[in-house]
């Protein structure tokens, strides 16, 4: 049995020699799996599922039974943290997260004021402990939070807006409000991720999905600054930290001062560019375009080869998609992807 620290995922992060490229995929537990849909129905919906440690543990493990992934990721959501702000999170089928009373004024911030005790998220911590027991230290578990900016976009918009008009307007008009909100989210995020670390996650990840919405200077001031604060305040107990964002192509300068182990990138950024700019400062996670999983085997092989060769030879790469897997993907294509990677990635590593 492998110890966690000897696991291929951890070795890839530490850029130690390995024989093949490890893989997991974002949203690996999700609606493309029929067994997920069944368990979600049994729980009575998505919110009830993430609040039920037994069933959340079960869906975390489902993709690992089907595919030889090299990591498990906690089944939860970046928006559970809204519990601590007494903002009721709802999920509408095929629409996504909804808050009935989104935030837009200083008065709203007074309302969410002092956050509730972190123990309110006990269901997450119980889920982590259950998963860790079941994984038996054979596969590392990834815990996560959303970046303060990305979480803020949902708390202000009140839903999955896609346009972000409201939050971008408030960013222009009321910087004091935005900074106060980001401060509040940052404080609870540190606590929340710290507690996940105490409960035994092996890797921590920050999803800054909407960091790329911000212009260069704003990205530094309203997103990265808070990520850096989280990193500084956390005692990670030597576990690695992954930072994922989209749309970073024109913001690479900003990343030079970011102290994380892995950069998770979308399908529009070439890993080679990051390596050229930063050498081996970061390991890289990504970045196959999810759409390629709708194509046939030849095109999937081509896609995988392209990602592998753009990273190049050696350790320091974790294979993943550039964004979360979508419900329209056939699980057989995921199996094919994992098999193809096992077949062709060894040539990029030690003989």
Does residue 287 interact with ligand CP3 by CB under 6 A? no
Instruction: Quote the CA–CA distance of 281 and 272 in Å, as a whole number.
Output: 13
Choice from 4, 58, 70, 77 touching ligand CP3 (CB under 6 A): 77
* Chain residue whose CB lies nearest ligand CP3: 96
Using the rule CB under 6 A, which residue among 158, 212, 314, 324 binds ligand CP3? Answer: 324
Q: Reduce the DSSP state of residue 142 to 3 states and report it.
A: strand
Residues between 84 and 113 with contacts to ligand CP3, criterion CB under 6 A: 96-97
Q: Is 306 left (phi over 0), alpha (psi -120 to 50) or beta?
A: alpha
Considering only residues 161 to 200 of the shown chain, the ones binding ligand CP3 according to CB under 6 A are: none
- Cα 168 from Cα 148, distance rounded (Å): 15
Q: Is 41 in the site for ligand CP3 (CB under 6 A)?
A: no
Binding ligand CP3 (rule: CB under 6 A), the pick from 75, 99, 222, 282 is 75
**Selected range binding ligand CP3 among 26-34, 186-194, 304-312, 328-336, rule: CB under 6 A:** 26-34
The packing angle between helices 122-135 and 175-199, to 10°, is 40
> Where would I find the H helices in 236-330?
252-255, 271-278, 297-311
Classify 180 as helix, strand or coil. helix
CB of 178 to ligand CP3, least distance (A): 18
- For ligand CP3, the closer of residues 39 and 345 by Cβ is 39
CB of residue 78 to ligand CP3, shortest distance in Å? 4
- Given candidates 8, 32, 33, 40, which one binds ligand CP3 under the rule CB under 6 A? 40
Q: State the burial class of residue 347 (Cβ atoms within 10 Å of its Cβ: 0-12, 13-18, 19+).
A: exposed
Closer to ligand CP3 by CB, 46 or 177: give it.
46
CB nearer to ligand CP3: pick between 96 and 102: 96
Q: Report the residue number, 90 or 120, with the smaller CB distance to ligand CP3.
A: 90
Q: In whole angstroms, what is the distance from residue 123 CA to residue 107 CA?
A: 30
Residues 6+ apart with CB under 8 A from 228: 257, 258, 259
For residue 30, the 8-state DSSP code is S
Interaction between residue 69 and ligand CP3 (CB under 6 A): no
Q: In the complex with ligand CP3, which residue's Cβ is closer, 18 or 23?
A: 23
For 67, which DSSP code? S
DSSP state letter for 256: T
Residues in touch with ligand CP3 (CB under 6 A)? 26-31, 40, 46, 73, 75-79, 96-97, 144, 160, 207, 209, 324
């Amino acid at each position: 049995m492998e110890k966690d620290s000897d696991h291929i995922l951890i070795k890839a992060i530490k850029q130690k020699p390995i024989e093949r490229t490890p893989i997991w995929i974002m949203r690996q537990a999700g609606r493309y799996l029929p067994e997920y849909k069944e368990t979600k129905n049994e729980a009575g919906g998505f919110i009830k599922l993430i609040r039920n440690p037994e069933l959340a543990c079960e869906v975390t493990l489902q993709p690992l039974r089907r595919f030889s992934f090299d990591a498990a990721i906690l089944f939860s959501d970046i928006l559970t943290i809204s519990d601590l702000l007494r903002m009721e999170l709802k999920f509408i089928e095929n629409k996504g997260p909804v808050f009935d009373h989104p935030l837009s004024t200083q008065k709203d911030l007074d309302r969410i004021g002092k956050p509730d005790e972190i123990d309110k998220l006990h269901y997450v911590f119980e889920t982590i402990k259950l998963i860790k027991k079941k994984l038996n230290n054979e596969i590392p578990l990834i815990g996560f939070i959303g970046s303060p900016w990305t979480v803020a976009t949902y708390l202000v918009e009140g839903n999955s807006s896609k346009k972000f008009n409201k939050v971008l307007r408030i960013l222009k008009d009321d910087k004091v409000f935005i900074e106060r909100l980001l401060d509040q989210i940052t404080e609870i995020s540190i606590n929340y991720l710290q507690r996940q670390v105490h409960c035994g996650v092996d890797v921590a990840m920050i999803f800054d999905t909407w960091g790329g919405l911000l212009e260069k200077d704003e990205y530094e001031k309203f997103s990265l600054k808070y990520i850096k604060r989280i990193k500084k305040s956390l005692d990670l107990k030597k576990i690695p930290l992954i930072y994922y964002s989209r749309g970073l192509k024109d913001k690479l300068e900003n990343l030079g001062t970011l102290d994380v182990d892995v950069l998770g990138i979308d399908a529009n950024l070439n890993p080679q560019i990051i390596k050229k700019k930063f050498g081996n400062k970061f390991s890289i996670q990504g970045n196959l375009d999810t759409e390629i999983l709708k194509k046939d085997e030849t095109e999937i092989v081509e896609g995988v080869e392209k990602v592998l060769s753009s990273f190049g030879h050696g350790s320091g790469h974790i294979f993943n998609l550039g964004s979360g897997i979508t419900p329209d993907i056939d699980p057989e294509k995921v199996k094919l992807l994992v098999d193809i990677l096992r077949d062709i990635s060894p040539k990029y590593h030690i003989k």
